[in-house]
Amino acid sequence: MADPETRPDAGDPSEASGKAAADRVREGAERARDAFQERVVEPAQRVGEAMRESGRKAAEGGSAIGTRMIDQAEANAHEAFAAMRRAAGASDLSEVMRIQGDYLRDQGARSMAQAREIGELIMQFGRDAVAPLKGGGE
């Protein structure tokens, strides 16, 4: 009779149980890796993407607000110089006082409208910047 260790079809029972144990450990490790990927890695990637999008929108909003404020300052300077030209061409002091009063009244109304516009831009910019973090989007 041949020795069991030399027969190709003979298997050691401890070898089979060791292989089964190794297979169970490998399957458990794969399940743990898949669960980690699903519960930690993928949500972290989504948060990172949302933060990048939020940052992009914040930069765009800041740029738009800055540009609008420059436009408003330019319009205010234009109106101030126009009022000074009218005052320089006035025929008497009462006309200068009227021009100055008109300018101050108009500038007050302009300032209120400009502040409202900038406030609305800031609020919109804030909503746009946090939308990606809340799961919203475009």
pLDDT at 5: 52
Q: How many domains is the chain partitioned into structurally? A: 1
Structural domain span for residue 62: 13-134
Q: Tell me the chain's radius of gyration from C-alpha atoms.
A: 37
pTM above 0.75, yes or no: no
For the record, the structure tokens of 18 come out as 């060791």
Residue 8 covered by a domain: no
Per-residue pLDDT of the chain (138 residues; tens, 9 = 90+): 445 555 555 557 777 888 888 888 889 888 888 888 888 888 888 888 888 888 888 788 888 899 999 999 999 999 999 999 999 999 999 999 999 999 999 999 999 999 999 999 989 888 887 777 776 544
Sign for the CA dihedral angle at 102, 103, 105, 109 comes to: positive
Residue 47 lies in a domain: yes
Q: Quick check: is 4 in a domain?
A: no
Q: Long-range CB contacts (< 8 A, 24+ apart) of 62-71?
A: 62/125, 64/121, 64/125, 65/118, 65/121, 65/122, 65/125, 68/117, 68/118, 68/121, 69/118
Q: Is residue 1 part of a domain?
A: no
Residue 86 placed within a domain: yes
Question: Residue 6: inside a domain, yes or no?
Answer: no
